């Protein structure tokens, strides 16, 4: 029996990134796919908003002011936030050992290097949140048809 997929609009994605242009780009990609979106611009605001909103998933930049991404990860591993899946995104070079270390954190479901490809981000969200892709993607149409 096939599992029923949720509609993206039922899921809240919280984007925590201090780079305004990156935050806006991720927000655009995620909203375009139908998800609800909230944003935070540093680690401190990110922790506060995560505890306040209890999002379905968090897109977390590693390099943040006022609590780095790794500190945010650790803070969220206790209590009611421990079950929130986190996708770590970074523009900083990450060698294999750093990636493996971050992936081993209990709440991390994916590690994506910037620049983030929209299909990679969107497919990760649908896979983790068990949501239905938008109509165009279901019909097999690629947004990159040439």
Reported as a single tens digit per residue, the pLDDT across 4-62 is 899 999 999 999 999 999 999 999 999 999 999 999 999 999 999 999 999 999 999 99
DSSP per position, 111-133: EEESSPPHHHHHHHHHHHHTBPP
Give the tens place of pLDDT for each residue, 68-121.
998 999 999 999 999 999 999 988 777 888 888 888 889 999 999 999 999 999
Cα separation, 42 vs 60, whole angstroms: 10
Q: Whole-structure pTM over 0.75, yes or no?
A: yes
Per-domain residue ranges of the chain: 10-131
Class of domain 10-131: alpha beta
């Amino acid at each position: 029996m096939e599992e029923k997929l949720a509609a993206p609009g039922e899921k809240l994605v919280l984007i925590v990134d201090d780079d305004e242009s990156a935050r806006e780009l991720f927000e655009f990609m995620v909203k375009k796919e139908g998800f609800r979106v909230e944003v935070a611009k540093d680690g401190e605001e990110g922790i506060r908003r995560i505890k306040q909103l209890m999002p379905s998933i968090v897109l977390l930049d590693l390099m943040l002011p006022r609590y780095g991404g790794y500190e945010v990860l650790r803070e969220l591993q206790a209590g009611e936030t421990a079950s929130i899946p986190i996708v770590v995104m970074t523009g900083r070079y990450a060698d294999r050992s750093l990636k493996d270390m971050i992936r081993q954190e209990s709440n991390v479901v994916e590690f994506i290097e910037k620049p983030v490809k929209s299909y990679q981000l969107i497919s990760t969200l649908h896979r983790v949140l068990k949501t239905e892709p938008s109509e165009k993607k279901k019909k097999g149409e690629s947004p990159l048809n040439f």
